[in-house]
Amino acid sequence: MPFHAYIDKGELCFPTMKAAMTWREWMEGHEGAKVVISEDKPTRSQSQNAYMWAYFEIVARETGHSADDIHEWAKRKFLPARFITVKGEEMRIPGSTRDLDRAAFSDYLDKIAAEVGIALPDPQAAGYISNYEPIKKAA
């Protein structure tokens, strides 16, 4: 069961009193358990994903390939492969942008743009603000 907490001035803090109480209750029943603490990095947003596909359409028009082909090419070229085993057979598969945090995703798009020589569109002009969240359009 994941517990959400943050570090403040060297102390482990919980966002609510209920979360702190749940943590304490869990600890009492799990003497000797190992706990893994990891940094919570926000993964790429849906808006970033939509921006990527809009860019892939631009690249597709310029190169004569489909956006899906550009996507598959870029995953294989710029993302580390993963290995999965199904029914005892190990297989290498391309990485996924789903696993990238927001900064790594931006770097990924920059690498693609540098490789294909087609500039990324301005996020603001494309309907995205600087953190790639969609702009709310006035009705």
Q: List the chain domain ranges.
A: 1-40, 46-116
pLDDT at 135 (0 to 100): 42
Confidence band (pLDDT; 50, 70, 90) for 118? Answer: very high
pLDDT, position 128? 61
Q: pLDDT tens-digit profile of 4-15?
A: 788 888 888 888
Predicted local distance difference test score (pLDDT) of residue 131: 47
Mean pLDDT of 114-118: 97
Using one digit for the tens of pLDDT, what is the confidence trace for 26-83?
Answer: 888 888 988 887 777 677 778 888 899 999 999 999 999 999 999 999 999 999 998 9
Class of residue 106 by CB neighbours under 10 A (exposed 0-12, middle 13-18, buried 19+): middle
Angle (CA) 137 67 134, round 5°: 15
Q: pLDDT: is 63 or 16 the higher one? A: 63
Predicted confidence at residue 132, as pLDDT, reads: 41
b/e code 34-45 from CB counts within 10 Å (16+ = b) = eeeeeeeeeebb
Q: Give the chain's end-to-end CA distance (angstroms, integer).
A: 43
pLDDT tens digit sequence for 72-112: 999 999 999 989 999 999 999 998 888 888 888 989 999 99
Predicted confidence at residue 61, as pLDDT, reads 95
